[in-house]
Structure 1
């Protein structure tokens, strides 16, 4: 299993502080969860059915021709490599590590490449995979460039797989409306923007034939009735969606200012997190953890990802910790 953010229990054990005393900024999940509706007991007592309106609501929300609900977009990430014969796969890196890992496990030859290298390698690839906006760097590739890459791949029967897990606050950059085109696959996460990661719900957007093949791999009743009800309510709640987009944008901008004022200018980010490279990433991570503030450490490139604080007290707590860290840096 690869390491991910959100491992709060492990941090609590390591640093000897109970979970309830932590400020967890280690994920890119919105810290304001949507209100979960009252779930009818029939949803718990019966097998889920697909005529409850969830797919239609998802198509409307994502502006997509067709969708397949999956138990978290992670499920689709792991299953997609099974739908192609073994080939050459490029993964724009650094990114969410599960993508490259899934294709390697599927027996494919994986090359991790930079954005500037795509044009050089693309004509020798069967599949190109990227996260947009990227996790953790926040890099955002424009739709027109993605569609150009897809066109080059599709001419040879190739795929472009775009993980849009963090796209909700910047939906104008999504290519979901084009997913009826063969070989264009978009993955959307429900839990991050709606603040309900525990729901384990995601959506695959692609042409109908590919979605049928993926559905066979996912199997029947993959998303439970109660989760379908939650997803439907949230996808139709346009008022709270607008509020969520606005507060994510404001919080992300505030986080940039706070980190910059502490001498930690982010090198990237999006509306749900900020990311910075620093040679002091590991000691800063430990300094914050010793004050029960958990951020995501990427040891391989000495970088940190900061999620959004939820309330004013959390902002003040983070600011105080960063001020204290900067003072220790000055002294040393």
Structure 2
């Protein structure tokens, strides 16, 4: 794919989760809609009641430090000082790109096809962005991005190869960003414990695995100097009191985590079996989503919309469609019936 010139104005890319737009397009579709477009765990973490003080008061710095220490343990990061907490990893992407530009970076390589916001925010920062298909091709850039496991196809990048890329980036003063938004639900090995130098930053999402995207919480795992710089740019009170309460509890709840991994594994197997029985070809997956590749995807997408089921399609790849997991049994039944009628 060719290199693109930097652009200062980049419209936000269309993503899943827009049920309001789906209802406008298909007003006769049955309610309630089933949203399978986001790849978010439909079984949200059942946290304890949030105290009124979490809403009434500004978040305490001590509570942030507690969360960072618990996150470091959960991610196997070197320490809490290697953690920067943010209102979602989406907020960290432009900060990282701007920091790279200020350090002299000019060219960004993104392992693609993948989640498009990394490329968009890099262009906004002034970087010339090139999408590549092999990790070794990222050696030519001074700012590189890999999503592992990848969204939307679940592709796994080798840890040793990524460590080699990070070392090469560090040697020339560049930066490798590894986005591990779906690390809990795939077979990839995390690099969070390798963030002992300033050439590697790992992003970790909270909303995906814990089914709480609306909490808006994410983390950067990085060298303490880089983590401190990110926190400075985010400013005080970047993470809300309710988010601190929920995440501190969830990240330390290993019983829930272990049980949920097993549940998602079983749900994913059920979804994949449903795809195969429908005659669809699976192009990749994690335990939170399955990517299907088929010539009939435009018709399949419209058919499902008519049944009140929203999935994720891609303008640039019209043969691809991604299915998230249904939640309640009634949703599984509706999806199976709609696929059977296709």
- TM-score where L is the length of structure 2: 0.91
* Alignment of 1:59 onto 2:75: no
Aligned residue in 1 for 2:166:
150
Q: 1:43 aligns with which of 43, 50, 54?
A: 54
Deviation of 1:18 (Å): 7.5
Q: Point out 4+ residue stretches in structure 1 off by more than 2 angstroms.
A: 17-20, 121-124, 169-172
Give the aligned partner of residue 309 of structure 1.
Answer: 326
Residue segments in structure 2 that go unaligned for 5+ positions in a row: 1-11
Work out whether residues 148 and 188 of structure 2, in 8 Å CA contact, stay in contact via their aligned partners in 1. Answer: no
Whether 1:30 and 2:41 are equivalent positions in the alignment is yes
Instruction: Show CA shifts across 1:151-176 (max 9, x none).
Output: 12111011110110001134761111
Q: CA deviation at 1:181?
A: 2.2
Distance in 1 between the 2:219 and 2:89 partners?
6
Of 285-294 and 9-18, deviating more is: 9-18
Superposition pairs for residues 142-181 of structure 1, below 5 Å?
142-170=158-186, 173-181=189-197
Cα RMSD for the two superposed structures: 1.5
Structure 2 partner of 1:93: 112
Q: Can you list the C-alpha shifts for 1:105-163, whole angstroms capped at 9, x where unaligned?
A: 00011101102xx32x3332101101111110110112111111111211101111011
Q: Which residue of 1 aligns with 2:126?
A: 107
TM norm structure 1: 0.94
Question: Separation in 2 of the partners of 1:311 and 1:247?
Answer: 13
Aligned-residue offset at 1:20: 4.7
Matched, 1:270 2:286: yes
* Structure with more of its chain in helix, by fraction: 1
**Aligned residues of 1:83 and 1:213 also touching (Cα < 8 A):** no
Q: CA deviation at 1:19?
A: 8.6
2:320 aligned with 1:320, yes or no? no
In 2, Cα distance between the equivalents of 1:292 and 1:228? 35
Change (3 A) 1:67 1:268: same
The number of equivalent residue pairs is 322
1:210-248 deviations in Å (ceiling 9; x for gaps): 111111221111111111111101111111111111111
- Residue aligning to 1:6: 17
Superposed displacement of residue 88, structure 1: 0.9
Paired residues of 2:291 and 2:321 also in contact (CA < 8 A): yes
Instruction: Give me the whole-angstrom Cα distance separating, in 1, the residues matched to 2:332 and 2:49.
Output: 32
Give the match for residue 306 of structure 2. 290
In 2, the alpha carbon distance for the partners of 1:171 and 1:36 equals 27
Partner of 1:69: 85
Alpha carbons of structure 1 residues 103 and 244: separation in structure 2 relative to 1, 3 Å: same
Q: Tell me, yes or no, if the aligned pair for 1:277 and 1:301 is still in contact at 8 Å.
A: no
* Cα deviation code 1:297-317 (max 9, x no counterpart): 112112100001112222221
Cα deviations by residue, 1:256-300 (Å, 9 ceiling, x for unpaired): 111011010211111110001222211110000000011001121
Q: Counterparts of 1:229 and 1:245 in 2: how far apart (Å)?
A: 22
Q: 1:190 to 1:180 in 2, by over 3 A?
A: same
In the alignment, the residues of structure 2 paired with residue 184 and residue 84 of structure 1 have an alpha-carbon distance, to the nearest angstrom, of 12
Contact 1:29 1:272 in 2 (8 A): yes
Over 3 Å counting, the alpha-carbon distance change for 1:276 and 1:18 in structure 2 is closer
- Tell me the distance in 2 between the aligned counterparts of 1:96 and 1:213: 25
Choose the corresponding residue for 1:258, options 269, 274, 293. 274
Rounded to whole Å, the distance in 1 between the matches of 2:268 and 2:310 is 17
Query: Is contact 1:23–1:294 with CA below 8 Å preserved after alignment?
Result: yes
